[in-house]
Copies of this chain bind each other. A is one copy, B any other.
Amino acid sequence: MESAKTPKELKHKKADFSEWYHEVIQKAGIIDKRYDVKGMFVWLDYGVQTMRLIKDIWDKLFREHGIKEMYFPLIVPLKYAKMNDEWFEGFKEQCFWLRSQGSEKEEHLLRPTGEPAIYPMMRLWIRTHGDLPIRLYETVSSFRYETRHTIPLIRDREITFWYEIHTAHATEQEAKEELEAHVRINEKIWYELAIPAIKVEKPIWECFPGAGGAIEFYTLMPNKKLLENGSCNDLGQAYAKKFDIKFRDASGKERYVWQTCTGNGARYLAAVIATHGDDFGLVLPPAIAPVQVVIIPIVFKGREEELKHYAKALETQLNSSGIRAYADLGDATAGEKYYYWDLRGVPLRIEVGPKELKEKHVTIVRRVDRYKVKADAGAVEEHVKAQLIKVHELLLNTAKAFYEEHITDAKTLSELEQELKKGKACRVPWCGSKECADSMQVFEGVEVAGSIYKLQANEACVVCGKKAEKVALVGNTY
């Protein structure tokens, strides 16, 4: 951890979210975007620490669910990539092609997704029903030659800290249950991030041919755009048939496996930054804050050593009870330190000055709302733990309120258009047909993300007037 240095002012988040976002990720030490390849950037140490804490959450949840961590090469042979001709047609324009020095031919590509690296191996591993289920994941970079505007952590050409779960099962039912488990795992991750991400069933015509559907998470960004943020895919037997992944069932009959895949990565962090940040910088949920409490001695002449000693002792005391605390004993002024750690979104600040020392208490300040509370020095861990829980609650509630304010119901097409023009996303009764979904895209940039997960409509479809089976989520998207 560094000591404070004085940074410059930030852009206002509300006035220009995009500029604010680019500025805060750079100034708060998450990334350095000056690496000279379009769509690629350097993760700085504070960014790595924060992202690693998010990864720790998924590593733990996956392991508990019996999903095994593996690692597949980043380089995919063309013949693996071509096993799924439809996949290949879809991705070949976005591929980075590889040639080794001295060779003429390009017979390899960098993985744009995991399937062509993983499924030929699954084919080798699966022989009988006894080999099933297989549950594996890897956290890895993926590479896509993105032709759209790139945005760090959101749309990159090297997609870093990307996890993919791939599973194979003997029955369709088991695969569907697995997928539900992945949805629940993602809900747990989103809870830790204090974000009420919306679960959406992807329109079937946007899924891979032969797939059984997908459940996608969407986060609502400060510019009111919907960002797809993780997907859980019911692959059915679509890939199994392409990659020839079969097993012998109990009766000796050969059958194709049923597969799922689930993925997400640095977009979790993008959503955290965008959702909780403010004009002073990041505001990190306690679960993923590399420093949960920063201790800043308010130093007055003559008591420096005593106060620093006290701050350091407090750090040790908090660390030993499992709290990530850090005493900033650097030479900067207290004000500079406040500014520096506010920028980095540290959830709590503890101020210790001569008064605190004398009266044997500390002052705890919450980053999110500047609320101050005095705590008895003897019971500081309990106070800090309680405040960290409170911070999480505040962040989640504020985010929920934002989602509620900006996602509204539209009962007619003209209502939909009006609300979209106000910058809102809408829940819209929908029959489920592609034609009606197309009609809901009332102007450019508007998309039907899908239908809200497990929510049934009671009204008529806003387009055709037929019975609405679903509630569409419609909005501006990334």
Interface on A for B, CB 8 Å cutoff?
32, 34-37, 40-45, 48-49, 52, 68-77, 79-80, 92-102, 106, 108, 110, 117, 120-121, 124, 136, 141, 143, 145, 157-158, 160
Q: Given the known A-B contacts A96-B100, A102-B93, are A44 and B72 also in contact in the complex, defined by CB atoms under 8 Å?
A: no
Set of chain B residues within 8 Å of A71, measured between Cβ atoms: 42-43, 48, 160
A interface, by DSSP: helix, strand, loop or mixed? Answer: mixed
Set of chain B residues within 8 Å of A141, measured between Cβ atoms: 74
Q: Given the known A-B contacts A45-B68, A70-B45, A71-B160, are A37 and B100 also in contact in the complex, defined by CB atoms under 8 Å?
A: no
User: With A and B bound together, what is the CA distance between A117 and B36 in angstroms?
Assistant: 9
Set of chain B residues within 8 Å of A124, measured between Cβ atoms: 32, 34
User: With A and B bound together, what is the CA distance between A160 and B74 in angstroms?
Assistant: 10
User: With A and B bound together, what is the CA distance between A70 and B51 in angstroms?
Assistant: 11
Instruction: Output the least CB separation between A324 and chain B (Å).
Output: 13
Set of chain B residues within 8 Å of A94, measured between Cβ atoms: 101
Instruction: Output the least CB separation between A156 and chain B (Å).
Output: 9
Q: In this complex, what residue of B is CB-closest to A52?
A: B69
User: With A and B bound together, what is the CA distance between A95 and B99 in angstroms?
Assistant: 8
Instruction: Determine whether the beta carbon of B70 is less than 8 Å from that of A158.
Output: no
> Which of A70, A73, A102 has the largest count of B CB atoms less than 10 A from its CB?
A73
Instruction: Determine whether the beta carbon of B77 is less than 8 Å from that of A98.
Output: no
Instruction: Determine whether the beta carbon of B145 is less than 8 Å from that of A34.
Output: no
11 pairs, A vs B, C-beta closer than 8 Å: A35-B121, A41-B73, A45-B68, A48-B70, A74-B158, A95-B100, A95-B101, A96-B100, A99-B99, A100-B145, A101-B145
From B73, B98, B108, give the contact of A42 (CB < 8 A): B73
Q: In this complex, what residue of B is CB-closest to A69?
A: B48
Instruction: Output the least CB separation between A368 and chain B (Å).
Output: 27
Q: In this complex, what residue of B is CB-closest to A40?
A: B73
From B77, B96, B160, give the contact of A36 (CB < 8 A): B77
Excluding A37-B77, A74-B74, A97-B98, 17 further A-B contacts by CB distance (< 8 Å) are: A32-B121, A36-B77, A36-B80, A37-B76, A42-B72, A42-B121, A43-B72, A44-B70, A48-B69, A71-B160, A75-B157, A92-B101, A93-B101, A95-B101, A96-B98, A97-B100, A98-B98
Instruction: Output the least CB separation between A98 and chain B (Å).
Output: 5
Instruction: Determine whether the beta carbon of A70 is less than 8 Å from that of B93.
Output: no
Instruction: Output the least CB separation between A181 and chain B (Å).
Output: 18
Set of chain B residues within 8 Å of A157, measured between Cβ atoms: 75
Q: In this complex, what residue of B is CB-closest to A41?
A: B73
From B40, B43, B108, give the contact of A37 (CB < 8 A): B108
Q: In this complex, what residue of B is CB-closest to A110?
A: B98
Instruction: Determine whether the beta carbon of A37 is less than 8 Å from that of B75.
Output: yes
User: With A and B bound together, what is the CA distance between A35 and B71 in angstroms?
Assistant: 11
From B43, B98, B102, give the contact of A70 (CB < 8 A): B43
Set of chain B residues within 8 Å of A100, measured between Cβ atoms: 95-97, 145
Set of chain B residues within 8 Å of A41, measured between Cβ atoms: 73
User: With A and B bound together, what is the CA distance between A72 and B47 in angstroms?
Assistant: 12
User: With A and B bound together, what is the CA distance between A45 and B166 in angstroms?
Assistant: 13
User: With A and B bound together, what is the CA distance between A430 and B95 in angstroms?
Assistant: 53
From B75, B98, B101, B158, give the contact of A73 (CB < 8 A): B158
Set of chain B residues within 8 Å of A106, measured between Cβ atoms: 99
Instruction: Determine whether the beta carbon of B95 is less than 8 Å from that of A45.
Output: no
Set of chain B residues within 8 Å of A73, measured between Cβ atoms: 35, 37, 40-42, 158
> Which of A42, A79, A95 has the largest count of B CB atoms less than 10 A from its CB?
A42
User: With A and B bound together, what is the CA distance between A95 and B103 in angstroms?
Assistant: 11
User: With A and B bound together, what is the CA distance between A94 and B102 in angstroms?
Assistant: 9
Instruction: Output the least CB separation between A229 and chain B (Å).
Output: 21
Q: In this complex, what residue of B is CB-closest to A5?
A: B130
User: With A and B bound together, what is the CA distance between A74 and B77 in angstroms?
Assistant: 18
Set of chain B residues within 8 Å of A44, measured between Cβ atoms: 70
Q: In this complex, what residue of B is CB-closest to A103?
A: B145
Instruction: Output the least CB separation between A10 and chain B (Å).
Output: 21
Instruction: Determine whether the beta carbon of B42 is less than 8 Å from that of A75.
Output: no
Set of chain B residues within 8 Å of A136, measured between Cβ atoms: 45
Instruction: Output the least CB separation between A340 and chain B (Å).
Output: 15
Q: In this complex, what residue of B is CB-closest to A35?
A: B73
Q: In this complex, what residue of B is CB-closest to A98?
A: B96
